[in-house]
C-alpha cells in the first residue's frame, strides 16, 4: 500500500513538482469525496480535479487569501457564545469544493423528501390521534415525556398540516460511500446563508472553474422559502400576506444569517419588541402605526416565543403570540413543537415512521442508534463507551457530546455517571468514519472529515436545495465538524446531469 | 418601516456625521498650531468643551486630547467610537441599507481598528483626518446611488442634518472659548487665523470668500455659518434639509401643525428666518448658539418620541375604537 502510494507520488512529482495535488496523501480508510484508489478522481470530479490540479501552490494561496478577504470585508461572521468581546468570527472557509454526483443527488433528493413527509405526518399524528403511539411503533413515553412535546399544540392544525417548513438534515457518508442520516434539525436550523455566500465567493475567486464544471444553482433558496411561507399564510391574510423574520437580535450567533435571509427574501427582520398582539392578531410597530403580520418565520426557539406560555423570563418573544397562533391568525414557521420529531431519542424511529405512514421502504438509512432509555441498550452503552459516540438528546452544535475513541478515562467515567442518572437524556452510536475531502489547513493539503447538511423547504410543495452546507473538520483525524468546535465549511457542488 | 429600524438608521447616520466633524475640528486645530505659538491649553481645551467633555484630566496636553478624541473607546464621541457605533447600527439593519454601503462601512471599521490607520495617524495626521472625513462622504454617496430613496433614506438624511446643524453651531462656538490674549487682539492675525480655521473646519473657507466682503470678519463668518441659505453646512440649510426629510416621513400636510418634532423644528427654523446676525450678536453669540444647540437637542428627543418610541398603549386604544366602530 505505502509502496504503491510512493510510486504514484514519484510519478506526480516528476511531472508536476509544485501543484496542488502533488503532496496529497489520501485517508487510510475513509471514503474520499474527490478521489478513488490511486488518486484517480471520481468520474464527476474529473474536470474539477484537473482544473485545480493545474494550479500551482502559489496561485492557489493567492486565491485562498482573496476568498478570506471577501468574507472579512463583507462581515460574513458568526458569534461564539463563550466570547463576550470581539464576538464576531469568520467561519473558516476552504476553497476546495465538495462535489456530489448528479446520480447521488437524485437519490438524496428522493430520500430527503420521503423523510420530511414522514416527519410532518408524525407531528400531526402525535398532536392528534396518536395512532403511531397506540400501535406501539414509537414508545409513547418517549414522545409524551419529551421536553419538546408541546401540550399547547394538541388538537391544533397548522395551515396545510405543515409543521416543519425548513429542515436541515445532517448526512454523513461511511467508508463504503453510503450516505446515512445522522440527525434531522427541524426546529430552527441554521447555516443556509453560508451555502449561498460560499458560492458567491467561489464564483468570485474561481470564475474559470465554473465554466469547466456544470454546477447546479443554489441562489433560488430565498425566493423558494418566501413562496413556501406565502403558501401557508392564514386564509385571512388576503392577497399579499406580510411575512417577517423574527430574530433573537444582533447578538445572536446566527444574526448574520437572519439579516441575510430577510434581505434576500425582501421581508422585514424583526425582534420580539417590534411586535405586539392585540385581539389575537399580531401587529408590527412601524413609524406609521401598527401593521398586521400574517406569517412569522421565527428563528427564536419555542421556549422563548411567548413569555405568557413558555419561559416567562424571555425578552425575545411576544406576549400572547400563542393565542394569536392558535386562533389561526398568524402562521409560525416552523410550527411550535417540532422538536419532538428531531429529539435524538425519537430519531431512531424515523425509518419505522416512513414504513408506517407512507408504506415505503426508507431510501436513506439512519446510523444505528442505542437508546439509553432502553435497559438493554443502556447496559451495552455504559460498557462500550470507548467505542461509541454519546449524544445528549436535546443538545446541538456538538455540545454535550462524548467521542468515545478519543476520550479520556475520566471523561468516560463522567459520562457513565450522567447517563445512568438520566438515561432518557442520552443516545449512542457507533463511530462512523466520515468521508473525507481534500482540504487546505495550516498543515498543508490533507484529507479532512466532512458531513453534509442539505436544506428542505416545505410549503404547499416540497423543494430540496441542490447543494447544502458541507462542514469540515480542520484538525487532522477529527470527526467533529461543528463550527462551534472549530470546524470550517466548503462550497457543495451538486453536479448537473451528464457532467 | 419598523420604528426600531428607523432609529438604527437615524443613529447610523448621526454617528458617521459625528466622526467626520470631529475629524474636521481636530485637523483644523492641528494646522492652526503650526502658524501660532500660543499656549497649548488655549488651543485644545475648546475642542473638549464643544464635545461636551468637561472633566478631562490633562486638557493642555495636545497629544492626550487628540488621542482622547480620536481613539479612546471610553469616550463615546471619539472618532473610533463613532465609527464603531455607526457600524454596529448598520450591522443591525443590514437588510435595510444596501450591501455596498455595508461593505464600505465594514471596511472602514476594520481599517480604523487595524494597524494601517494607526500608522497613518502617527506619520501623517492630516491625511488621517482627511481619510476619516472621506468615509462619511463616501458612504453618503454610495447610499445616494444605491439605496431606495424611501423612508429609510429620509431617516438617514434626518440624522445626518440634525447632527451636522448641531456640529456647525458647536464649531462656531469654539471661538467663544478660544480666548484672545487681550481684547486688543481683535482683528489681529491671531484673530483672523481663528476665524479662518473655523471656516475651514466647515469646508466653508472658499465659499465664504467668494461671496462675503461686507461685514466685520467675525460677524461675517458667524452670519455665513448660521444663516447662509445655500451653503450645505450652515445651521439653517441643515435644518431645512432635516425638515424636508421629516415632512417626507410624516406626510404632513401644508399648514397643519405636524408632530412634536416638526413643531419644535419649525419654531427654530422660523426664529432663524426672522432673526439677523446683529440680533444674535446683541443677545450674545455664545448665548444664541447655546440656544440653537439646546433646541437641536430637544428636536432629537422629540424625533425619538414622534417616530421611534412606539406608544403601544395609545395604539391599542386606537385599535379598540376601530373594532368598536366596525361592530
Q: Is residue A317 part of a domain?
A: yes
Distance CA(A461)–CA(A186), nearest Å, equals 17
Beta carbons within 10 angstroms of residue A244's beta carbon: 24
What's the pTM value of the predicted model, to 2 decimals? 0.88
Q: Is residue B15 part of a domain?
A: yes
Inspect the interface and report whether the beta carbons of B102 and A284 lie closer than 8 Å: no
A10 pLDDT more than 50: no
Of B1, B249, B315, the CB nearest to A290: B315
Inspect the interface and report whether the beta carbons of A285 and B307 lie closer than 8 Å: no
Minimal Cα distance from B99: which residue of A?
A74
For A215-237, the pLDDT digits (tens) are 999 999 999 999 999 999 998 88
Angstrom distances, CA of residue B271 to CA of B208, B239, B255, B266: 23, 12, 17, 8
CA distance between the termini of chain A: 31
Same domain, A250 and A292: yes
Inspect the interface and report whether the beta carbons of B102 and A75 lie closer than 8 Å: yes
Same domain, A354 and A372: no
Suggest the residue from B8, B73, B87, B92 to mutate for an interface test with chain A (most A CBs closer than 10 A). Answer: B92
Residues 6+ apart with CB under 8 A from B118: none
Work out the average pLDDT over A67-85: 72
Task: Indicate the helix (H) or strand (E) that contains A282.
Answer: strand A281-286
Residue A303, chain B, CB below 8 Å: the answer is: no
Residues 6+ apart with CB under 8 A from B114: none
- Partners of B102 on chain A (C-beta within 8 Å) are 74-75
Q: Is residue A200 part of a domain?
A: no
- Partners of A259 on chain B (C-beta within 8 Å) are 91-95
Task: Give DSSP secondary structure letters for A12-39.
Answer: HHHH-TTBTTTT----SSSPBSSB-GGG
Closest listed residue to residue A165, CA positions, set A326, A396, A331: A331
Exposure string over A153-169, b if 16+ CB within 10 A, otherwise e: beebebbeebbbbbbbb
Work out the average pLDDT over A328-341: 96
Does the ipTM exceed 0.85? no
Q: What is the pLDDT of residue A253?
A: 81
CATH number at residue A375: 3.30.1490.270
Q: Is residue B325 part of a domain?
A: no
Q: Is A171 helix (H, G, I), strand (E, B) or coil?
A: strand
Same domain, A385 and A246: no
Report H helices in A42-185: 46-53, 57-73, 102-126, 131-134, 140-144
Among A295, A330, A358, identify where a domain stops. A358
CB B248 within 8 A of CB B6: no
Distance CA(A153)–CA(A132), nearest Å, equals 17
Residue A204, chain B, CB below 8 Å: the answer is: no
Same domain, A258 and A294: yes
Same domain, A264 and A398: no
Q: Which stretches of chain B sit within 8 Å of chain A by CB? A: 1-6, 88, 91-95, 99, 102-103, 106-107, 110, 151, 249, 307-308, 310, 312, 315-316, 318-320, 323
Residue A273, chain B, CB below 8 Å: the answer is: yes
Same domain, A323 and A385: no
Query: Burial of A195 by CB count in 10 Å (0-12 exposed, 13-18 middle, 19+ buried)?
Result: buried
Instruction: Specify the length of chain A in residues.
Output: 499
Suggest the residue from A268, A287, A289, A299 to mutate for an interface test with chain B (most B CBs closer than 10 A). Answer: A287
A425 pLDDT more than 60: yes
Angstrom distances, CA of residue B178 to CA of A8, B173, B222: 80, 9, 15
CB A296 within 8 A of CB A268: no
Quote the minimal CA–CA distance from A314 to chain B in Å.
Answer: 19
Same domain, A274 and A335: yes
Domain count along chain A: 2
Q: Is residue B324 part of a domain?
A: no
- Partners of A297 on chain B (C-beta within 8 Å) are none
Between A86 and A57, the more confident residue is A57
Quote the minimal CA–CA distance from A337 to chain B in Å.
Answer: 29
Mean pLDDT, all residues of chain A: 90
Distance CA(A289)–CA(A391), nearest Å, equals 48
Inspect the interface and report whether the beta carbons of B2 and A74 lie closer than 8 Å: no
pLDDT category of residue A4 using cuts at 50, 70 and 90: very low
Residue A274, chain B, CB below 8 Å: the answer is: yes
Residue A289, chain B, CB below 8 Å: the answer is: yes
Among A333, A358, A383, identify where a domain stops. A358
Residue A268, chain B, CB below 8 Å: the answer is: yes
Of A259, A263, A287, the CB nearest to B249: A287
Peptide bond just before A398 cis, omega within 30 deg:
no
Suggest the residue from B3, B111, B259 to mutate for an interface test with chain A (most A CBs closer than 10 A). Answer: B3
Q: Is residue B322 part of a domain?
A: no
Q: What is the pLDDT of residue A33?
A: 97
pLDDT category of residue A39 using cuts at 50, 70 and 90: confident
Angstrom distances, CA of residue A75 to CA of A216, A255, B304: 26, 11, 29
Q: Quote the domain boundaries for residue B80.
A: 3-312
Minimal Cα distance from A262: which residue of B?
B95
Among A337, A358, A379, identify where a domain stops. A358
CATH number at residue A128: 3.40.50.11290
Which residues 2-61 of A are in CB contact (within 8 Å) with B? Answer: none
A5 pLDDT more than 80: no
Quote the minimal CA–CA distance from A291 to chain B in Å.
Answer: 9
Residue A263, chain B, CB below 8 Å: the answer is: yes
Q: Quote the domain boundaries for residue A383.
A: 368-430
Distance CA(A207)–CA(A195), nearest Å, equals 17
Residue A74, chain B, CB below 8 Å: the answer is: yes
Of B95, B103, B110, the CB nearest to A259: B95
CB A170 within 8 A of CB A182: yes
Domain count along chain B: 1
Same domain, A122 and A252: yes
Residue A430, chain B, CB below 8 Å: the answer is: no
Give the E-state strand segments of A319-476 in sequence order. Answer: 331-333, 365-366, 370-371, 388-392, 401-403, 426-430, 436-441, 444-453, 455-458, 462-464, 469-472
In the sheet with A289-292, reading across from the earlier edge strand, the strands are: A275-278, A281-286, A289-292
Work out the average pLDDT over A436-452: 94
Q: What is the pLDDT of residue A194?
A: 93
pLDDT category of residue A8 using cuts at 50, 70 and 90: very low
Quote the minimal CA–CA distance from B107 to chain A in Å.
Answer: 6
pLDDT category of residue A36 using cuts at 50, 70 and 90: very high
Q: For chain B, which residues score pLDDT lower than 70? A: 35-41, 179-183, 212-215, 323-327
Minimal Cα distance from B107: which residue of A?
A73
Q: Is residue B317 part of a domain?
A: no
DSSP state for residue B215 in the 8-state scheme: S
Of B2, B92, B103, the CB nearest to A74: B103
pLDDT category of residue A399 using cuts at 50, 70 and 90: confident
Suggest the residue from A71, A73, A75, A320 to mutate for an interface test with chain B (most B CBs closer than 10 A). Answer: A75
Same domain, A156 and A240: yes
Inspect the interface and report whether the beta carbons of A287 and B103 lie closer than 8 Å: no
A82 pLDDT more than 60: no
Quote the minimal CA–CA distance from B284 to chain A in Å.
Answer: 39
- Partners of A290 on chain B (C-beta within 8 Å) are 315, 319
Q: Is residue A118 part of a domain?
A: yes
For A455-496, the pLDDT digits (tens) are 999 999 999 999 999 999 998 888 888 877 778 999 999 999
Q: What is the pLDDT of residue A288?
A: 82
Same domain, A226 and A112: yes
Same domain, A346 and A421: no
Q: Are strands A455-458 and A444-453 parallel, antiparallel or unpaired?
A: unpaired
Work out the average pLDDT over A90-114: 95
Same domain, A321 and A375: no
Q: Is residue B68 part of a domain?
A: yes
Amino acid at each position: 500500500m505505502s509502496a504503491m502510494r510512493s510510486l504514484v507520488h514519484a510519478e506526480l512529482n516528476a511531472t508536476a513538482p509544485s501543484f496542488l495535488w502533488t503532496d496529497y496523501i489520501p485517508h487510510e480508510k475513509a471514503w474520499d469525496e474527490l478521489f478513488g484508489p490511486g488518486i484517480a478522481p471520481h468520474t464527476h470530479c474529473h474536470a474539477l480535479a484537473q482544473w485545480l490540479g493545474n494550479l500551482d501552490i502559489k496561485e492557489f494561496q493567492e486565491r485562498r487569501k482573496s476568498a478570506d478577504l471577501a468574507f472579512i470585508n463583507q462581515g460574513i461572521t458568526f458569534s461564539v457564545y463563550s466570547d463576550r468581546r470581539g464576538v464576531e468570527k469568520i467561519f473558516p472557509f476552504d476553497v476546495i469544493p465538495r462535489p456530489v454526483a448528479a446520480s447521488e443527488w437524485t437519490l438524496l433528493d428522493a430520500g430527503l423528501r420521503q423523510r420530511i413527509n414522514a416527519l410532518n405526518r408524525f407531528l400531526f399524528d402525535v398532536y392528534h390521534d396518536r395512532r403511531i403511539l397506540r400501535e406501539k411503533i414509537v414508545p409513547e413515553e418517549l414522545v409524551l415525556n419529551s421536553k419538546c412535546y408541546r401540550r399547547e399544540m394538541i388538537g391544533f392544525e397548522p395551515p396545510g398540516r405543515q409543521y416543519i417548513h425548513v429542515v436541515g438534515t445532517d448526512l454523513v457518508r461511511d467508508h463504503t460511500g453510503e450516505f446515512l442520516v445522522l440527525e434531522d434539525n427541524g426546529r430552527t436550523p441554521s447555516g443556509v446563508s453560508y451555502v449561498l455566500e460560499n458560492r458567491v465567493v467561489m464564483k468570485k475567486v474561481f470564475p474559470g472553474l465554473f465554466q469547466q464544471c456544470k454546477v447546479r444553482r443554489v441562489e433560488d433558496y430565498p425566493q423558494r422559502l418566501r413562496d413556501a411561507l406565502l403558501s401557508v399564510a392564514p386564509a385571512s391574510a388576503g392577497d399579499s400576506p406580510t411575512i417577517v423574520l423574527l430574530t433573537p437580535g444582533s447578538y445572536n450567533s446566527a444574526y448574520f444569517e437572519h439579516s441575510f435571509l430577510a434581505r434576500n427574501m425582501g421581508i422585514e427582520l424583526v425582534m420580539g419588541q417590534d411586535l405586539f398582539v392585540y385581539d389575537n392578531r399580531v401587529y408590527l410597530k412601524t413609524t406609521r402605526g401598527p401593521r398586521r403580520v400574517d406569517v412569522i418565520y421565527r428563528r427564536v426557539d419555542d421556549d422563548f416565543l411567548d413569555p405568557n406560555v413558555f419561559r416567562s423570563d424571555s425578552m425575545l418573544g411576544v406576549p400572547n403570540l400563542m393565542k394569536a397562533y392558535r386562533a389561526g391568525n398568524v402562521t409560525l414557521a416552523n410550527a411550535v413543537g417540532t422538536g419532538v420529531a428531531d429529539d435524538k431519542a425519537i430519531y431512531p424511529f424515523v425509518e419505522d415512521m416512513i414504513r408506517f405512514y407512507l408504506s415505503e421502504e426508507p431510501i436513506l438509512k439512519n446510523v444505528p442508534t442505542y437508546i439509553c432509555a432502553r435497559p438493554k441498550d443502556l447496559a451495552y452503552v455504559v460498557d462500550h463507551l470507548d467505542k461509541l459516540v454519546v449524544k445528549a438528546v436535546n443538545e446541538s452544535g456538538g455540545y454535550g457530546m462524548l467521542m468515545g475513541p478519543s476520550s479520556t478515562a475520566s471523561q468516560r467515567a463522567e459520562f457513565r455517571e450522567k447517563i445512568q442518572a438520566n438515561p432518557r437524556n442520552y443516545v449512542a452510536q457507533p463511530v462512523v468514519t466520515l468521508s473525507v475531502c481534500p482540504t487546505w489547513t495550516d498543515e498543508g493539503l490533507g484529507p479532512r472529515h466532512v458531513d453534509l447538511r442539505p436544506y428542505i423547504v416545505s410549503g404547499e410543495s416540497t423543494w430540496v436545495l441542490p447543494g447544502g452546507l458541507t462542514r469540515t473538520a480542520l484538525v487532522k483525524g477529527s470527526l467533529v465538524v461543528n463550527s462551534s468546535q472549530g470546524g470550517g465549511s466548503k462550497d457543495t457542488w451538486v453536479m448537473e446531469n451528464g457532467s | 418601516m419598523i420604528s426600531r429600524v428607523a432609529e438604527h438608521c437615524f443613529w447610523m447616520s448621526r454617528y458617521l456625521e459625528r466622526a467626520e466633524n470631529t475629524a474636521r475640528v481636530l485637523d483644523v486645530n492641528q494646522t492652526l498650531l503650526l502658524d501660532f505659538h500660543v499656549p497649548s491649553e488655549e488651543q485644545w481645551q475648546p475642542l473638549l468643551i464643544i464635545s461636551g467633555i468637561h472633566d478631562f484630566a490633562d486638557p493642555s496636553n495636545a497629544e492626550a486630547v487628540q488621542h482622547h478624541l480620536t481613539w479612546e473607546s471610553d469616550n463615546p464621541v471619539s472618532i473610533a467610537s463613532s465609527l464603531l457605533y455607526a457600524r454596529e447600527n448598520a450591522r443591525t439593519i443590514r437588510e435595510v441599507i444596501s450591501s455596498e454601503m455595508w461593505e464600505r462601512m465594514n471596511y472602514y471599521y476594520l481599517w480604523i481598528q487595524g494597524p494601517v490607520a494607526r500608522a497613518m495617524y502617527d506619520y501623517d495626521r492630516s491625511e488621517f483626518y482627511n481619510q476619516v472625513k472621506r468615509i462619511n462622504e463616501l458612504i453618503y454617496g454610495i447610499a445616494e446611488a444605491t439605496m431606495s430613496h424611501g423612508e429609510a433614506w429620509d431617516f438617514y438624511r434626518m440624522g445626518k442634518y440634525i447632527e451636522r446643524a448641531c456640529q456647525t453651531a458647536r464649531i462656531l462656538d469654539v471661538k467663544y472659548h478660544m480666548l484672545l490674549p487681550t481684547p486688543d487682539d481683535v482683528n489681529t492675525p491671531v484673530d483672523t487665523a481663528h476665524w479662518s480655521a473655523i471656516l475651514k473646519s466647515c469646508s466653508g473657507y472658499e465659499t465664504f470668500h467668494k461671496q462675503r466682503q461686507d461685514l466685520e470678519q467675525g460677524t461675517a463668518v458667524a452670519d455665513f455659518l448660521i444663516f447662509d441659505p445655500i451653503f450645505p453646512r450652515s445651521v439653517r440649510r441643515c435644518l431645512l434639509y432635516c425638515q424636508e426629510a421629516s415632512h417626507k416621513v410624516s406626510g404632513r400636510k401644508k399648514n397643519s401643525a405636524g408632530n412634536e418634532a416638526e413643531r419644535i423644528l419649525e419654531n427654530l427654523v422660523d426664529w432663524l428666518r426672522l432673526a439677523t446676525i446683529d440680533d444674535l450678536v446683541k443677545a450674545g453669540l455664545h448665548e444664541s448658539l447655546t440656544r440653537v444647540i439646546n433646541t437641536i437637542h430637544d428636536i432629537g428627543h422629540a424625533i425619538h418620541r414622534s417616530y421611534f418610541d412606539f406608544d403601544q398603549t395609545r395604539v391599542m386604544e386606537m385599535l379598540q375604537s376601530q373594532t368598536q366602530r366596525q361592530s
